[in-house]
Structure 1
Amino acid sequence: MSAAHRHSHDHEDDAPASDEGMAPEGAIGTRGTRQRAAIRRVIDESPRPLLPAEILAVAQQEVPALGMATIYRNLKLLLESGAIRTVELPGAVARYESARHAHHHHFQCRRCDRVFDIHACPGDLSGLAPAGFAVEAHELTLYGVCADCGADAAR
């Protein structure tokens, strides 16, 4: 197989099973491992930010031999490439979501601890800042009970 054909070949099943021989970090999406492709797919298709253990559980359905060390190694590479981003809430373990999402906020259930996306924003919050301060960005997290936990409590 020629070098040009090898680099344009992007079939997951043909990718190496380890990180050995990988493309440079800047080329994560061009020739990732089967494991990385599964991890990326889980994150991209999730409607909410996921904990590493949640990513592992779903990705193992596609790649049963996947382990937590591989999850963390690939999360680091996907973060460095800008494909995913971290969702960090006070007092909580970091979760991961696709960088494809536009600006949005989050809701954390106080019963099940899951975090959900809120695809709405109150807009410019600079009026809340003290005089002379310049707001550069904002994050908003709502806390309460998710629909699943609320339904369970109503039973």
Structure 2
Amino acid sequence: MPPSVRETRQRTAIRNALQSQNRPLKPKEIQELAQQECKSLGIATVYRNLRTMLEDGLVEKLEIPGLATCYSLPREIKRPILVCQRTGQIHWLKTRPADVDLSQVPPNFEYEGHEIIVYGQFQT
């Protein structure tokens, strides 16, 4: 943890919530899980801590059009993303990253990265 970031009960509970699920979580999901450890944790505190943790590189934000913003612990490897269209949950596909042929990218396009998103539904 960067030296400027003070470790708090709330921040620890948020990090533990993210670690416990091993998938990106919506702020409300983070709050519900973190409240098991920190009963009085409010949603405003979750957002405030996520903002600080994001600035310090302790979490990453995942924004997919049409879905609520999710947060996860930083990933070393960018794996393809699974989106359940029934529940709106996001999961990591447990495979190596997909190779993408970037030879067709125009020379005046500054490539910054990519994500592979797979849409479907988990069967219950």
- TM-score band, normalised by shorter chain: 0.7 to 0.9
Q: Which residue of 2 aligns with 1:135?
A: 111
- The CA deviation at 1:58 is 0.4
- The CA deviation at 1:136 is 3.3
Structure 2 length normalisation: TM-score?
A: 0.86
Q: Which amino acid aligns with 1:27?
A: S
**Cα distance in 2 between the residues matched to 1:73 and 1:133:** 35
Q: Which residue of 2 aligns with 1:61?
A: 36
Judged with a 3 Å threshold, the aligned counterparts in structure 2 of structure 1 residues 26 and 126 are, in CA distance, closer, same or farther, namely farther
CA RMSD of aligned residues (A): 1.9
The residue correspondences of 1:75-154 to structure 2 (distance < 5 A) are 75-119=50-94, 120-130=96-106, 133=109, 135-146=111-122, 150=123, 152=124
**Cα distance in 2 between the residues matched to 1:97 and 1:27:** 21
1:27 matched to 2:4: yes
The structure, 1 or 2, with the larger RCO (C-alpha pairs under 8 Å, 6+ apart) is 2
**Cα distance in 2 between the residues matched to 1:27 and 1:134:** 33
- The secondary structure found in structure 2 opposite 1:142 is strand
Structure 1 length normalisation: TM-score?
A: 0.70
2:27 to 48, 52, 56: 52
**Cα distance in 1 between the residues matched to 2:121 and 2:76:** 23
| Gapped regions of structure 1 (runs ≥ 5) | 1-24
Over the matched positions of the two proteins, sequence identity in percent amounts to 35
Judged with a 3 Å threshold, the aligned counterparts in structure 2 of structure 1 residues 55 and 144 are, in CA distance, closer, same or farther, namely same
Q: Is the 8 A contact 1:26 1:81 kept in 2?
A: no
